[in-house]
Amino acid sequence: MANVSQPVITTDINTDFSKIVELVLIENKQVLEKINYSSVIQLGQAIMNAQRIFVAGEGRSGLVTRMFAMRLMHLGRQVYVVGETITPAIQQGDLLIDFSGSGSTEHVLEIACKAKEIGAYIASVTTQIDSPLAKIADFLIHIEAAAKQDHSHQHSQQFSGSLFEQSSLLIFDALFHFLSHTINKSSETLWALHANLE
């Protein structure tokens, strides 16, 4: 196998890397400050009212959905990740939360449309307020970050949908924290539901 030379980092790592970290923090702060917190709290109320909650997303957005689903489990909510083998049929009155930066991810849109036809409530998390997912949503969380294929650097200096995925995780971790305090769930109570077969 031929030896392939690798690029050598010759920059001032501490100085330059700290600037990148600062950039990521600043961009997330700017995005989070623009989010309509009332819409987030409305979704939080819907989460607490729902008999069952389903979450859907693809790629890195899908990883965020799974992290949020785990936190909903800690709150004692009945939550399922769409596509898992143990996920049951969605029913009228259930809540589907979908994550898609573009708001038009084909598989996620198909899931949302089918859930809507069945009579489930739809919550869409997206950067695009005029997207198909936004238009069918009962609850809309608009995150003003760059969509995955937006390489203009107008909304973010980071690659692809990184800022959307980061800020989605942060706002939904904040929502979890808010809900856990609102319903007076102590850390001990939350931890009692954590997986113990690890």
> Catalytic amino acids?
165
d(CA 39, CA 126): 13
Task: Specify the DSSP element, H or E, that contains 142.
Answer: strand 139-142
Handedness of CA 54, 51, 193, 85 (dihedral sign): negative
CA distance 196 to 182: 26
Contact (CB, 8 A) for 113 and 143 = no
What is d(CA 40, CA 121) in angstroms, rounded to the nearest whole number? 15
The answer to whether residues 120 and 136 touch, using CB atoms and an 8 Å cutoff, is no
